[in-house]
């Protein structure tokens, strides 16, 4: 028997809690999203999903991505290119982004020290940290010359 991925379990739980249904469309969008790493726009996802089922509409992708955000499977990121992009969140290490201002490439990185200092600095100000986004803008290895 085939075992469900833990992401799918999270999804099913959320869907039940919210009294939503697991439809083939939602399932396909989730699978497609999980299958690809990186920073993907709604249009990216829409294009790939369409290869499996051309009857799926743009709107459904938008609506499903909202569900994935709400249940913690996706994270919205803004790479300053005019549209919201999504990346996996659940079961993935938290990380931040360095964005090259010349070529537009974005590099993921993680630094435990930064994370812990953020938490303690916020606590000192009475702020309870739930999430954060750090974007570092500059020039990547190839572009800095």
Binding site for its own copies (CB under 8 A): 78, 98, 100-101, 107, 109, 111, 113-114, 117-118, 121-122, 125-141, 144
Closest by CA position to 62, among listed 46, 48, 50: 46
Q: In this structure, what are the phi and psi dihedrals at residue 72, rounded to the nearest 5 degrees?
A: 80, 15
The nearer residue to DNA, 29 or 100, going by C-beta atoms, is 29
Shortest distance, position 108 Cβ to its own copies, whole Å: 10
In the list 5, 25, 95, 96, the residue contacting DNA (rule: CB under 7 A) is 25
DSSP 8-class letter at 88: E
Closest by CA position to 32, among listed 20, 56, 48: 48
Between helices 58-70 and 24-35, what is the axis angle to 10°? 70
Shortest distance, position 83 Cβ to its own copies, whole Å: 13
Stretch that binds DNA, among 56-64, 108-116, 118-126, 134-142 (CB under 7 A): 56-64
The nearer residue to DNA, 20 or 103, going by C-beta atoms, is 20
């Amino acid at each position: 028997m085939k075992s469900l991925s833990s992401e799918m379990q999270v999804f099913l739980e959320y869907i039940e809690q919210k009294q939503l249904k697991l439809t083939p469309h939602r399932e396909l969008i989730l699978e497609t999203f999980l299958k690809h790493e990186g920073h993907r726009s709604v249009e990216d996802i829409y294009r790939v999903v369409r290869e499996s089922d051309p009857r799926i509409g743009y709107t459904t992708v938008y609506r499903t991505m909202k569900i994935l955000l709400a249940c913690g499977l996706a994270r919205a990121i803004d790479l300053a290119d005019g549209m919201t992009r999504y990346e996996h969140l659940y079961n993935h290490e938290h990380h931040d982004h360095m964005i090259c201002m010349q070529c537009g490439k974005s590099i993921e990185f993680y630094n435990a020290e930064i994370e812990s200092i953020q938490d303690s600095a916020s606590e000192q100000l009475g702020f309870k940290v739930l999430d954060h986004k750090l974007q570092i803008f500059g020039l990547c290895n190839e572009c800095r010359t």
